[in-house]
Amino acid sequence: MFEGLSERLENAFKKFKEKGKLNGDDIKRGLREIRLALLEADVNYKVVKNFIERVEKRALSSEVIESLTPFQQIVKIVYEELIETLGGSARGLELGSSRPAKILLAGLQGSGKTTTAGKLARFLKKKGHHPLLVSTDIYRPAAIEQLKVLAQKVEVPFYEPQAEEKPVEIVKSALEMAKNNGRDIVIIDTAGRLHIDEKLMEELIELKQNFNPSEVLLVVDAMMGQDAVNVAQVFNERIGLTGIILTKIEGDARGGAALSIKEVTGCPIKFLGVGEKLDALEIFYPERLAGRILGMGDILTLIEKAQETLDIKKAKELEKKIKKLEFDLEDLREQFRQIRKLGSLKEILKFFPGLGSKLNEIEFDEKELIKMEAIINSMTKQERRNPKIINASRKRRIAKGSGTTIQDVNKLLRSYEEMLQLLKQIRAPGKFQSMIRRLIGI
């Protein structure tokens, strides 16, 4: 996500960093590079113009020109103005006081709207709500069936439209079902089209007028670039949006839509779809995304992801073992499994400051954790709990059983011993992740 833009901005900042002091010409040359970086990232040209004007005004002030660290001041200004361009602050869902609250999802076919409805239901359920899903897409039975399957996966009720029911009638019946079953939110997945047409707009306007939803959210594909911005602008003008959900953001290496859509449409981005799985929906935090773009990382999002994904009970048990220096290979195997739950190593490392644009330079094998786990799996319980008994013949058996080499087994055991030595010196659970990175050679 935003790899190209991050790299180009980093190169632009180098022009500032090369000089201890900056004058007006230095700043303008550097800003020209930033402007080109944003335009190449498919950011709307008016957004780029306004952004550069704001940065230039602040950068040419005495706070930068007379600063002992002008480079750091420039980065700070760009960071703050990026946050402003992205929307300023996170905007959560505004559900109002009436129950059940109604969330209307709109969008074109292929934007990921139906999948997003399932993700949103899961997200709200995790937050303690009791959602119900309903589809008004009577033109595509496959869309209704898809949402029904997603509802089963996230374990929330689904209202199945009856034959001949029209969209307004469907929503009325779904709301009645929600009231009777103690559901506090109804998520309405509407029909989509391959392109914007009058019939689509009229149907959305009718649903909005009849039910006055708390939220009217447009689901739009970030990979469409400026077309996504144009689509959002038309939807907002015709039906009035309260927010936007950008999907397929993980495949958008340029980032033009995310950086343009708020300033052009006036509608805040409320969520990002960051993958195909049903848990791949994130609240949109402008300051966090600005940090990722500038290579500052996003530790807060990683922590939230870890809290939701990892087994807290097992983590506390491990902490006790580390403090007592009772950490064995069974514990190490469990850590490999926990790390893999968070996603690929490359995806995890993107959250760390300073690594975003440098990940292509780091050589690591995503299969390394799987290989090490296979080696540990080939050991007996006695060997895992007391690795000192593993002699040459045992190493041959373990290597053969795991489909690896004796050298691989030796590497794992050697790394484990190094880790134990570090634990004796540190005994701090917070250092454990750096040890894991050392173990797998990244």
Using DSSP, state whether 357 is helix, strand or coil.
helix
Final residue of a structural domain among 296, 314, 349:
296
- Which residues neighbour 82 within 8 Å (Cβ) at sequence distance 6 or greater? 51, 259, 286, 290, 293, 294
Total domains in the chain come to 3
Final residue of a structural domain among 269, 296, 323:
296
Residue 311 has pLDDT above 80, yes or no: no
Residue 93 lies in a domain: no
For residue 373, give the CATH number of its domain. 1.10.260.30
Residue 73 domain boundaries = 3-86
141 and 265 in a common domain: yes
**CA pseudo-torsion sign 212, 142, 110, 288:** positive
**Mean per-residue pLDDT of the chain:** 79
Range with the poorest average pLDDT among 66-75, 121-130, 227-236:
66-75
Mean pLDDT of 224-231: 84
Per-residue model confidence as pLDDT tens digits over 253-264: 566 777 888 888
Paired sense of beta strands 131-135 and 158-159, if any: parallel
Range with the poorest average pLDDT among 158-162, 310-314, 408-412:
310-314
Using DSSP, state whether 245 is helix, strand or coil.
strand
291 and 145 in a common domain: yes
Per-residue model confidence as pLDDT tens digits over 382-394: 998 888 899 999 9
Paired sense of beta strands 281-283 and 269-273, if any: antiparallel
Mean pLDDT of 404-425: 80
- Which residues neighbour 382 within 8 Å (Cβ) at sequence distance 6 or greater? 389
Write down the residue that tokens 């290496």 correspond to.
Answer: 253
DSSP structure string for 158-210: EEPPPTT--HHHHHHHHHHHHHHTT--EEEEE----SS--HHHHHHHHHHHHH
Comparing CA positions, the residue from 111, 103, 107, 108 lying closest to residue 132 is: 103
Residue 95 lies in a domain: no
128 and 253 in a common domain: yes
138 and 235 in a common domain: yes
- Cα dist from 183 to 174, 180, 216, 391, whole Å: 10, 8, 19, 61
**CA pseudo-torsion sign 34, 39, 42, 43:** positive
pLDDT band at 369 (very low <50, low <70, confident <90, very high): confident
66 and 11 in a common domain: yes
How far is it, in rounded angstroms, from Cα 370 to Cα 366? Answer: 8
Q: What is the pTM of this model?
A: 0.66
Residue 358 has pLDDT above 70, yes or no: no
361 and 226 in a common domain: no
